[in-house]
Amino acid sequence: MASRVRNQLQALKKVYPWISTPLIISAPMRVFAGPALAVAVTKAGGIGFIGPGASPPDLDIALTESRRLLEQSSASSHSSMQPVGIGLQTFDADLGIAIQAIREHKPYAVWLFAPRDGQSELNTWVQSVKDSSPETQIWIQVGSVMDALSAARAPIPPDVLVIQGSDAGGHGLARGAGFISILPEVADELRDTNILLMAAGGIADGRGVAAALSLGAAGAVMGTRFLASEEAKIPRGYQEDVLKTSDGSQNTIRTKLYDELAGRTDWPSMYDGRNIRNRSTQDQESGLSFAENEKLYKKALTKGNDGWGENGRLTAYVGAGVGLVREVTAACTIVTTTTTSIITTTLDASKMASKTAHPDKKEIEDRTEKLRLAYNKRDIDGALAMFVDEGLNCSAYSISRKSYPNMNKARFEEFLLTMHSKLKHYRHNTISVSGHKEFQAWEWEMVWEEYKKVGQGDSSDGQGVDGQEDSSDAGGATSDIAVETVAGEDIAVEPRKRRRN
């Protein structure tokens, strides 16, 4: 699987030149994922998707706004393509209106989902999209191995398959399973194709993303986590309900009830939705008639934000990972903190396995050296692939112990500036270092916390790797150190505040 992961990462970078890896994608949640959220995720190095909106004309309005936002930022593309994606539910979307918007605005990706007539319906959409905007990438969401293979064998195969597990919030197949079982089977079946795989369903932090990558995904989709972003178009009562809900295994439910209460009987029969349990589901389970439940639901619609919550009745689509969503933050912060968490998780897994698996000493040394060389070359994709595919037998911690420099506080600051110059392709969410240059916030936190743990902060001998004197590059830090340090032993991540259940 190592070569597949590496090839997927390389392919992603060619098609989506602005992205950082590991890749984070914001889901095209129907009315909640608007232009502001999609653009913010793209600017942070992910791929932001705009939802289809409440009605077909909303798509043109949203893409017009996203282009305006992109033109105001450094994320604006030099090509005619917009570096965002759009999502479409094909069973109720207007093909003519959608194609007109795609032809005019040229989004980088179109995500197709929920056909009423199966693959034949998707084939019609794919052909129309490609005819109107040949460079636009086709993403198709599936929830089973069978559907994945049908899409892959279509006359025009998709560029990306989104493998949605049943832990996902919102709509998906009523008969399904978690992506942990579907994704690796699809990856095995499609190993000889160029189709990229993305994982979705219950992913809310870096640990879930790391799991998805280890199963063969090139990136991970998060929806519920971005409901708690500053840019989400979501009612306050709904968002507060998301933050207060814990234990998604017990406090969310897959059901068709909320579609029926809202009068949405047009969904294809094979789909239902995952929502937060509330009075509507409780009363249904207690035997309340649908007519009375519907009457109470309509009354709740008049209550504004009070219509949600434990005693509310309104729909709150969330995934089973909702208990990991604890605060509202900017979308760019969600992307960067998730990326940091992925690195921490893979390092922790590497150290844990190296203590228990007892691999051959020569094997450990060889793999550690490969990882060290990857970082020296700034081959982030290669290093990530090794973490995912070989890291479980690699004593990654030895890298930092062998190569961590001795330097005082002043030299550490110079070292940060060197690191900044080596990792320009991760530029976002920057902070100032002593008023000189900008340095990424997550890099500062990771490197500084590790530096303190090593306990060399008071040293002033000015020596670097293996006791050699530091070079003059950017004031004294060696070029190798700049990237190696990211793979340190105990990267610290600031703990998030616990919330009430």
Q: 57 or 293: whose pLDDT is higher? A: 293
pLDDT at position 140 is 99
User: Residue 100: is its pLDDT beyond 70?
Assistant: yes
Choice among 15-29, 180-194, 379-393 with the minimum mean pLDDT: 379-393
Q: Has residue 484 got a pLDDT over 50?
A: no
Per-chain mean pLDDT for the chain: 78
Tell me which H or E stretch contains 171. Answer: strand 170-173
pLDDT tens-digit profile of 303-352? 999 999 989 999 999 999 999 999 999 999 999 889 878 776 765 655 55
Beta strand 23-26 pairing with 219-222: parallel
Cα 416 to Cα 487: distance, rounded to the nearest angstrom: 15
Instruction: Give kind and range of the element (H or E) at residue 194.
Output: none
Q: Is pLDDT of 142 > 80?
A: yes
Residue 21: predicted pLDDT: 83
Rounded CA gap, 85 and 257, in Å?
A: 30
Percent of the chain with pLDDT over 90: 59
Model confidence at 13, in pLDDT bands (50, 70, 90)? confident
Quick: pLDDT tens for 390-410.
Answer: 432 222 322 332 333 343 444
Per-residue pLDDT, averaged over 415-432, amounts to: 42
3-class secondary-structure state, position 155: coil
Dihedral sign for Cα 238, 242, 244, 245, please. Answer: positive
- Taking the CB of residue 282, how many other CB atoms lie within 10 A of it? 13
**For residue 36, is pLDDT > 50?**
yes
Least confident among 10-24, 253-267, 319-333, 374-388? 374-388
pLDDT in the model for residue 480: 28
Give me the pLDDT at residue 327, please: 95
Helix, strand and coil in the chain, % to nearest 5: 50, 15, 35
CA distances from 301 to 30, 233, 292, 383 (A): 19, 18, 15, 51
Choice between 83 and 470, residue whose per-residue pLDDT is larger: 83
Burial 242-265 (b: 16+ CB within 10 A, else e): bbbbbebeebbbbbbbbbbbeeee
User: Which of the following CATH numbers is that of domain 2-222: 3.40.140.10, 3.20.20.70, 3.40.50.1000, 3.30.420.40?
Assistant: 3.20.20.70
For residue 459, give the amino acid letter.
S
pLDDT of residue 218: 92
- For the chain, the domains span 2-222, 237-324, 331-487
Q: What is the pLDDT of residues 471-483, one digit of tens each?
A: 333 233 222 222 2
Looking at the DSSP assignment, which residues form a beta bridge with residue 86? 50, 110
Q: Are 140 and 158 in contact (CB under 8 A)?
A: yes
Q: What is the pLDDT of residue 346?
A: 66
Distance CA(378)–CA(394), nearest Å, equals 19
pLDDT class for 73, splitting at 50, 70, 90? confident
DSSP code of residue 20: -
pLDDT of 317: 98
Q: What is the pLDDT of residue 12?
A: 84
Min mean pLDDT across 187-191, 201-205, 247-251, 338-342 is at 338-342
| Cα angle, residue 344 at apex, residues 424 and 488 outer, rounded to 5° | 70
* pLDDT of res. 9: 75
Q: Which residue has the tokens 């690191």?
A: 419
Over residues 286-310, mean pLDDT = 97
Bridge partners for 196 per DSSP: 160
- pLDDT at res. 109: 98
- Of 9-23, 116-130, 245-259, least confident by mean pLDDT is 9-23
Asked if pLDDT for residue 118 goes beyond 70, the answer is yes
Position 388 confidence tier, pLDDT thresholds 50, 70, 90: very low
Rounded distance, CA 239 to CA 227, Å? 7
DSSP 221: E
Confidence of residue 385 (pLDDT cuts 50, 70, 90): low
As a whole number of angstroms, the distance between CA 495 and CA 162 comes to 31
